[in-house]
Amino acid sequence: MVTHLYGILGVILDRTFGNIIRMLRVIRLPKEERGHLSWTFVGTLAVILAYGLIMMFSASYSSGYTNHGGNIYYFIKPQAIVAAVGFVVMLGVSLINYRALRYMFWTFYVITLALLVLALFMPSDNNGCYRWVYLPGGMSLQPSELAKFAVILGTADILDHHQREIKSLLQCVFKPACLLFPILVLLRLEPHNSAMLLMAMILPPCWCAPGQAA
């Protein structure tokens, strides 16, 4: 019994701390693989982002002035901060070797499942659904958004690792579907039907977009 417990503990440590170390070793994108920064793309994205913020400000400043002590920036300020931080993070992520993310798949998947379960015990929203995890400081998190990334990452990892073993369409569908099924069950309990539909739509592009083994 003790031997089995040590074995399970070893697997857990390897899949968490061990994979973090493996990821950090290869997370930096090799210089020869870095492309030139497309300022046209960055500029276009910045214009779209600015347009969205302007539209939001025009639609919300009167509500902020009326309901929040004359503060017309009440709604737009946090959105602008998040947009600016997200823009910087986007540029930073472009320098990361995306292949390194495969080492964090199982850890990320388990955390996502735990958050989906935790959401079921949180206060319901106005529609009687349990879709949010409420954090200290008035912040909240919707686990279904993390689940989308977990499914994409997991499907890519499974199809890449087992590409020689997958001999039929059924095998290609079955293994990623086993990964998706627990998430769909938890989303149904929330309920969050639109997220379930999006999850089902994620898999076909992953099946139809094979690439070279990393």
* Residue 93 within a domain: no
Q: Rounded to an integer, what distance in angstroms lies between the CA atom of residue 187 and that of residue 117?
A: 9
Q: Is 166 helix (H, G, I), strand (E, B) or coil?
A: coil
* Residue 148 within a domain: yes
* Residue 145 within a domain: yes
* Residue 21 within a domain: no
Mean pLDDT of the chain: 79
As for how many domains the chain has, the answer is 1
Domain, as residue range, for 122? 101-214
- The pLDDT tens digits of the residues spanning 13-41 come to 666 667 777 777 777 777 666 677 788 88
- The pLDDT tens digits of the residues spanning 132-172 come to 888 776 677 888 888 888 888 888 877 777 666 666 666 66
**CA 184 vs CA 3, 5, 192: distances in Å:** 35, 31, 9
**CA 134 vs CA 130, 185, 192: distances in Å:** 11, 21, 17
* Residue 71 within a domain: no
Residue 83 burial by CB count (10 A; 0-12/13-18/19+): exposed, middle or buried? middle
0.75 cut: is pTM over it?
Answer: no
- The pLDDT tens digits of the residues spanning 46-65 come to 899 999 999 988 988 888 88
pLDDT score, position 71: 85
* Residue 194 within a domain: yes
* Residue 55 within a domain: no
Give the CA radius of gyration of the chain.
21
The DSSP bridge partners found for residue 28 are: 96
Q: Single out the residue of 176, 157, 179, 163 nearest to residue 19, CA to CA.
A: 157
* Residue 15 within a domain: no
> Residue 212: which pLDDT band, with cuts at 50, 70 and 90?
very low
